[in-house]
Chain A
């Protein structure tokens, strides 16, 4: 392995600034014989330009070499082509674009630019487009993505979930939206992501440490959500998305409009959704041994609603482009009323069962605001990108006051915090990131820097996490070296600094503390003021090799993560789990080393990829349950403390697609993961939230209608999930299960528009099963029963473009 190291490290430093000869590259872009102005044309990710009124583009000086030429435009299929520049003047024949009518088959992605990016990346990268999300629409973005092997979610209810990549989640997976890290998901398992899935244009999923590009928290992977691509010049139009789900009576509507002059554009999206209590195939569930009857199989009080607004506007010049994204994502949803966490609760069934659509207590309400600006400059060879963002996440959890432990039996009336506010978190985040990409010979360099500052405030009668302030900054350099037509080498180095300042927190009520036989009333300090600094140097080296039908990728890299406030400073009882959680102010930053390989084969009929990985954490941060109980700080609850242990993780994903004929194809996606703690109190045990092995087989028949309809398909799915018997306290073993699904869809051509319709039947046979990584797993709550999902996308366009083009 050392040899690879040496090889690859050398490449990072090796940058010959040879005075290469250069070529003038030009061409013309057409759509149905009409020139396309303002199409984005780029050569690799280095040289950018747009087509003029006559659809013509010109690059003045591109050094000789091998490149990929891309042409992209909203509503049109992406075009890509390999180029060999070796003449002073290189003219590309007319490039003809086609309308984008692609529908994804099974789980494979067929888009050319994305495919190229996936192939050239050394890391395990998966890219899906918005039609994949619409075709597989689930209650939340992560649920819509869980057909991808290695990607799972920690779900709570029908509308909330957070990502789990190869068994790592929470702060170990970074979520990026419109180029800025999404903040606000690290609080606990019962919070989802504040992301509007209709607004996602493309989602990139990196399995494995991606710190060098994304920053410290991407230790387990990253989910990069990109906006819908920009509208064409001189166009105006939009889409309307409608979706309905039978299980929880959900309806969702999302309207999108865009308008663009030559340089200016404006887009807006309004998404609304409401859903009732979800249904499970059970009349009674047992919280411990207490039987909870479910009225009409409804999981009491899991209804919710979403209201989202997105605006984007900007100016797109040849050398400079600046875009603002402004969004507000709001959702309110109830928690299962009969168990708040693990606590069995009695509720007024008459009140709750009166309507399956009302949201009673306990409930959560969250509003997430974002303002992001992305400004790009193209200066000669350099492509510079500067992003600035502000986010505000405000989350409240409502619940009836329950006097746990030493809390007063009756909630005092003189407190400013309302008796129904169990917890609230207010988070403000500023981020800035600057990067520069340029090409020297066959090397494509990227250097970048980013910084983030965040301030967190807390409120409520229940304490879990102290208030804190944190900043983090990083610098990186990345070299992508196209050695020849088949081999691309990657090398990256990143340095990060961070600081966290935790505020002191003391109980608002006194506890009866017995010391030397005397009982005194004390306001216990739950969190002491802590200030910690962290620094880390990380690296990544990789190769992608594509000699023909066979392709191979390998990557080796390190990542790190700063301990979060609760890991350092927690000292209170989490009544969701009846545990006393103790932080450790001396924790070191978590580190991870990972080796990734992808091997594949592709031809006209078959496409197969196998991606094994091996991951080692010298100091994985883990909440360790002990045999002790604590009466003083823990109010009699079991003591859990944050500790660090050596962890080894390995596994593989497999994805295979086979076309039996033009019409009939089969796809198989499978995953396996093994986790083990090699040291510490839980040596030999796994780590929490380890998904069991699973496989998903999809068969699809594409119906070739001659007229009117395109991309018509019907399909069946079979998912087999093994039992998970490797558990760590307080988890429970989860039995195996099998699920069947059905799906169908078509694209109806109606004048110039194409209406996309997708139908899914999830859990076709209404199977009762438990999901090992679900929040409700510990109380044995079955997962959602049969669910019929219908989604419809209707575009509307006033295409002025072609007249403008003719007129000019």
Chain B
């Protein structure tokens, strides 16, 4: 069995054409835009360094937007008594002294956004129980769009 020069060039040609075909595919436009969380609208809450009171309901309000379609959002309130983590915001807040948590507030919940919305103003009431520790907390907002791009904001708040 002998491989001729002709055979060989044939093989090469097939390889090369295969590659060319593969390269000629139409490209699909993909969404690469992150959704945005706007805490600048009237009545937006909480803003950086906000103070909320124990035993009283607190209303979260923010405007979400995306170029295509929003996905869902999630809220999370956790203590920052140890000052180990910081918020995502530029402005720094005055903080209490570092302390050991006893019964810190912990709130984790995910929320749906009606399908296909490019803009959505979220308003949610959150109970701040009367027995939780007062002090520095983080209020985390996580927002996704339909494709899975996620934007996060971590706001420093104080519970008193």
Contact = CB atoms under 8 A, between A and B. Distances in A.
A581 to B, nearest CB: 13
B73 interface: yes
B15 A345 contact: no
A627 B145 contact: yes
B25 interface: yes
Interface stretch (A582-590, A657-665, A725-733): A725-733
B110 to A, nearest CB: 4
B15 A683 contact: no
A405 interface: yes
Chain A interface size band reads 35 or more
B91 to A, nearest CB: 10
Contact of B8 (A487, A556, A648): A487
A595 B15 contact: yes
A798 interface: no
Contact of B100 (A410, A554, A613): A410
B6 to A, nearest CB: 11
Interface string B1-38: 11100011011101110110011010111101000000
Interface in A708-733: 725-730, 733
B23 A636 contact: no
A315 to B, nearest CB: 43
A631 B146 CA distance: 18
B148 A638 contact: yes
Interface stretch (A144-152, A283-291, A695-703): A283-291
Interface string A559-596: 00000000000000000001000000000000000010
A612 B16 CA distance: 9
Interface stretch (B39-47, B57-65, B101-109, B118-126): B101-109
A1 interface: yes
B100 A346 contact: no
Interface in B137-160: 140, 142, 144-150, 152-154
Nearest to A579: B150
Contact of B18 (A3, A289, A614, A728): A614
Interface string A398-428: 0010110110011000000000000000000
Given A3-B11, A597-B12, A344 B109 contact: no
B149 A290 contact: no
A601 to B, nearest CB: 15
Contacts of B73: 629
B150 A729 contact: yes
B56 interface: no
B88 A625 contact: no
B84 A346 contact: yes
A400 B98 CA distance: 15
Given A290-B86, A409-B101, A630 B110 contact: yes
A65 B148 CA distance: 62
B74 interface: yes
Contacts of A628: 71-72, 110, 144
Interface residues of B, number: 60
A349 B129 CA distance: 35
A487 B3 contact: yes
A10 B142 contact: no
Contacts of A730: 148-150
B19 A614 contact: yes
Nearest to B26: A684
A595 B106 CA distance: 54
A98 interface: no
Given A406-B106, A554-B15, A595-B18, A346 B85 contact: yes
Contacts of B18: 1, 595, 614
A299 B71 CA distance: 35
A627 B146 contact: yes
Contacts of A631: 74, 108-110
A489 interface: yes
B97 interface: no
B17 to A, nearest CB: 9
Contacts of A638: 74, 142, 144, 148, 150
Interface of A: 1, 3-4, 7, 10-11, 14, 287-291, 343-346, 400, 402-403, 405-406, 409-410, 483, 487, 489, 512, 543, 545, 552, 554, 556, 578, 595, 597, 612-614, 624-631, 635-638, 640, 648, 650, 674, 676, 681-685, 725-730, 733
27 contacts: A1-B18, A3-B14, A7-B11, A288-B152, A289-B90, A290-B87, A290-B89, A409-B79, A410-B101, A483-B2, A489-B3, A595-B15, A597-B19, A614-B19, A625-B148, A625-B149, A626-B148, A629-B110, A636-B75, A638-B142, A640-B148, A674-B23, A676-B25, A684-B29, A728-B30, A729-B147, A730-B150
A-B pairs with lowest CB-CB distance, top 8: A627-B71, A625-B148, A684-B28, A288-B88, A629-B74, A629-B110, A409-B101, A636-B108
Given A684-B30, A729-B149, 14 more contacts: A10-B1, A11-B1, A288-B154, A289-B88, A409-B104, A487-B3, A543-B11, A556-B15, A595-B15, A595-B19, A625-B150, A626-B144, A636-B75, A729-B148
